[in-house]
Amino acid sequence: MIKNYFKIAWRNLLKNKSYAFINVMGLALSITCGILIFSLVKYHLSFDNFHDNANRIYRIVTEQHRDNISYTDGVPAPLGNAIRNDYTFTEKIARIATFDQQLITITNDKDVKKFKEKEGAAFTEPEYFSIFNFPLVKGNITTALNEPNTAIVTERIAKKYFGNEDPINKVFRLDNKVDCKITGILKDLPDNTDQKAEIFVSYASLKSYDEWLAKDDSWGGIQSAMHCYTLLKKGVSPASVENVLPAYVKKYRPNSKNVHHYKLQPLADVHFNPHYGGAMEKRNLWVLSFIALFLVITACVNFVNLATAQALNRSKEVGVRKTLGSLRLQLFWQFITETGLITIIATVIAYGLSWLALPYVNEWFGIHISLNILSSWQLPLFMILLAVLVTFFSGSYPGIILSGFKPVQAIKGKLSQQSVGGLNTRRSLIVTQFAISQVLIIGMIVVMGQMKYAKQSDLGFNKDGIVMIPFASGADSSVIEPLRNRFATIPGVEKVSLCFTAPLDNSGWSTSMQFDNRTETEAARVNFKAGDDNYLSTFDLKLVAGRNFFPSDTVREYLVNETMLAKLGLRSPGEIIGKTLRVDGNPAPVVGVVKDFHDKSFHEDINAVCISSYSNLYQTFAVKINMANAKATQAALEKTWSEMSPNGIYESKFLDANVAAFYETEDLMLKLVQVFSFIAIFIGCLGLYGLVSFMAAQKTKEIGIRKVLGSSVAQILWLFGKEFSRLIIIAFLVAAPLAWWAMHTWLQDYKFRINISAWYFVTAISASFIVAAVTVSYQAVKAALMNPVKSLRTE
């Protein structure tokens, strides 16, 4: 019987090739998206879940309460050691200070090799490797990092630096500051970990790299580089640990207006929490999962539409089978078998399409996921379950309808529209498809609008044509000024400034301030920007009052922004110019007020900012160039750098690229929404094609009669046009409020955001009308041009 089901199913597919092709392609595209999104979600959910006792591992993070609440994944450097000495609720606790973009120098008898490690190096306490499962393949994990100037590296790094030589006891120099002897080799880190640094230096070496951070009394501030992880003892709750941590704030920071609240963040939350630098918000995974679900539903709706539209063509077959004794259940399973065969073919094609699309997904996300069904049980199980669900969801309704035909009426061809599900059912399904497509289209348009707004709005400074060139690590200060002067003489260079960061940058120094004769530190924090006297002119920052500060290597004068006035409760620039501002204990007069500029992304409010000269913090050349001859100018900059700063590796990046990097996640989600929107539209078009085919078949005689009575082709076309116009409008009425709610919620993450304009909705419904018109035009025109004599002779 089962063999017969498959034989009949295969014959029907061969007989109705266009019907089979449309269904297979619709299901294949949706299942492809399902496979890729499942693999992506599975990859992100697997982050750091391979460690033993992962449910007892926590990262200590900090909430900073002042005039607002901010979050950082860093903690004061002494906190980990203090907890270790004062309490017994931790089984293990370890500090790790990670610094990215590190220069590695390897010197041997023949030559000097230099490498720039983007993920940097981590100064690590030995217990870190007792908390996490990062096994050593060479060396002793318990002693490898006990001594100063020792390090362990991954197999990949060892191969990169030393080839096939034994790396043990080899020496490299870190950032022109610390010599490190390799005492162990780690197995390469898996892709699904948030630990990205592959060089681990003994924590005892930190004082040679950053003396202040290495001190056990540096409670005054937090560097985001300093993390602290703990493995709690069994039975210890995170809440009980958090309850004792405020004692450190009272003891070491009693008078600070920046009140620290130390929290325990579960390891499972590290990858997803945006407050603490999580790489992927769970909300994005939910969005992708729902998009995959909607696409599968859309494809299944297509299948139902096309299957029921084809039902009349198979009515006599059903009538004959029932007359010969077939039971309704047997006919139902025959149609389920046909659906299953189509779904299996679609799933196989979808798996192949997924392989073809996988390199692009990996490139977009910067990840390395695999679709090898032999290496993981989850993916094949997902594909099987999805195929089963699609089969029954798509095939059950047509199977019930077709198996319910009355044999006499079926054989005589006297079945009504209601016998095959009726137009109302298909209308509802088409409305569902259009509603899903319009939600995606509106969402895509809003995201595009917000990204355009974020990237093209006036940021309060000029980001165009500015090349950011970081100093060489450990560069001699005597080289910096001559190098700036040489840069300034290069043809095409218009301005050169020494600075800590650009006006808008994720890095920064947020610190305390005290104004004029006020006795207490202000509740608000200030974002300190270190730059020389060319900083304003290079970035085209606008003075609204006062003057620029005079050249200096130390803090002598301050510029502040307009937000600073509001934070201090001042009404006009005149109330602050000439007054003393004490920033992190450094007093100086305020000599000018600059127009507000965005110092962070559009996700955040503009902060109180002060700008001053402070050469100890300078780490970047900001070079404004004439873009008319940018390539030659950049080559000259690199050549000059190489001549005067041979100890470093030349790197440069345009500032506008840095600004765009703030929105990488949004750009990525936009790409995906665009792709999935087009797929949803394409699948929806297949469904429309199925419905118009059904309508054309049902209205054959009606069209013939209308043409005999004098109806024009345009009037016949309107029969179809008004039908789909109603469906599109109903779908829009469903989609518009859902899309508005979803995108309004999404935009709340931005402090500076667009308004959701009515034009976005007009564009979405207009696009739907255009797509529908193009889709139905072929069948509609074909029906309208049909010879009425043939139409009326079909009886």
pLDDT, tens only, 475-484: 666 788 888 8
Cβ distance 72 to 398 under 8 Å? no
| Tokens at 184, concatenated | 């162990």
In the predicted structure, residue 746 carries a pLDDT above the cut 80: yes
In the predicted structure, residue 97 carries a pLDDT above the cut 90: yes
In the predicted structure, residue 688 carries a pLDDT above the cut 80: no
pLDDT at site 297: 86
pLDDT at site 324: 57
What number is the average pLDDT over the span 269-279?
89
| Tokens at 321, concatenated | 């089978």
For residue 106, give the 3-state DSSP assignment.
Answer: strand
pLDDT at site 94: 95
CB neighbours of 221 closer than 8 A, spacing ≥ 6?
76, 511
pLDDT at site 784: 60
Distance of alpha carbon 226 from the chain centroid: 25
Distance of alpha carbon 550 from the chain centroid: 43
Amino acid (one-letter) located at 779:
Q
CA torsion, ordered 532, 537, 543, 549, to nearest 10 deg: 30
- Strands 543-546 and 121-124, by their bridges, are unpaired
Query: Which residue from 525, 641, 735 is spatially nearest to 64, judged by alpha carbons?
Result: 525
pLDDT averaged over every residue in the chain = 84
What number is the average pLDDT over the span 564-570?
91
What number is the average pLDDT over the span 556-568?
92
pLDDT at site 481: 86
Q: Which of 208-212, 332-336, 460-464, 765-769 has the lowest mean pLDDT?
A: 332-336
pLDDT at site 415: 46
Share of the chain above pLDDT 90, in %: 37
Strand partners, 136: 186
What number is the average pLDDT over the span 607-629?
91
In the predicted structure, residue 517 carries a pLDDT above the cut 90: no
Q: Which residues of 497-533 are buried (b: 16+ CB within 10 A; e: fewer)?
A: bbbbbbbbbeebbbbbbbbeeeeebbebbbbbbbbbe
pLDDT at site 475: 61
- pLDDT per position as a tens digit, 368-401: 888 888 778 888 999 999 989 888 887 776 666 6
Q: Which residues of 740-760 are buried (b: 16+ CB within 10 A; e: fewer)?
A: bebbeebbeebeebbebeeeb
Q: Report the Cα–Cα distance between both ends of the chain, in Å, rounded.
A: 36
Q: Which of 364-368, 556-560, 587-591, 650-654 has the lowest mean pLDDT?
A: 364-368
Q: Which residue has the tokens 């993981």?
A: 376
Q: Which of 269-273, 315-319, 699-703 has the lowest mean pLDDT?
A: 315-319
CB neighbours of 274 closer than 8 A, spacing ≥ 6?
281
| Tokens at 214, concatenated | 């290495």
| Tokens at 138, concatenated | 């060479």
Distance CA 251, CA 305 (A): 71
Distance of alpha carbon 461 from the chain centroid: 27
pLDDT at site 408: 47
For residue 611, give the 3-state DSSP assignment.
Answer: strand
Query: Which residue from 490, 35, 57, 493 is spatially nearest to 270, judged by alpha carbons?
Result: 57
Cβ distance 537 to 499 under 8 Å? no
pLDDT at site 777: 72
Sign of CA dihedral 497, 503, 507, 509: positive
Cβ distance 29 to 682 under 8 Å? yes
- Element (DSSP H or E) covering residue 565: helix 562-567
For residue 652, give the 3-state DSSP assignment.
Answer: coil
pLDDT at site 271: 93
Q: pLDDT band at 310, cuts 50/70/90?
A: low
Distance CA 255, CA 72 (A): 21
What number is the average pLDDT over the span 236-262?
89
In the predicted structure, residue 259 carries a pLDDT above the cut 90: no
What number is the average pLDDT over the span 418-435?
68
What number is the average pLDDT over the span 82-105?
92
- 17/178: higher pLDDT: 178
- 210/721: higher pLDDT: 210
In the predicted structure, residue 152 carries a pLDDT above the cut 60: yes
Q: pLDDT band at 541, cuts 50/70/90?
A: very high
What number is the average pLDDT over the span 630-644?
89
DSSP state of 116: E
Q: Which residue has the tokens 């790409």?
A: 671
What number is the average pLDDT over the span 225-251?
92
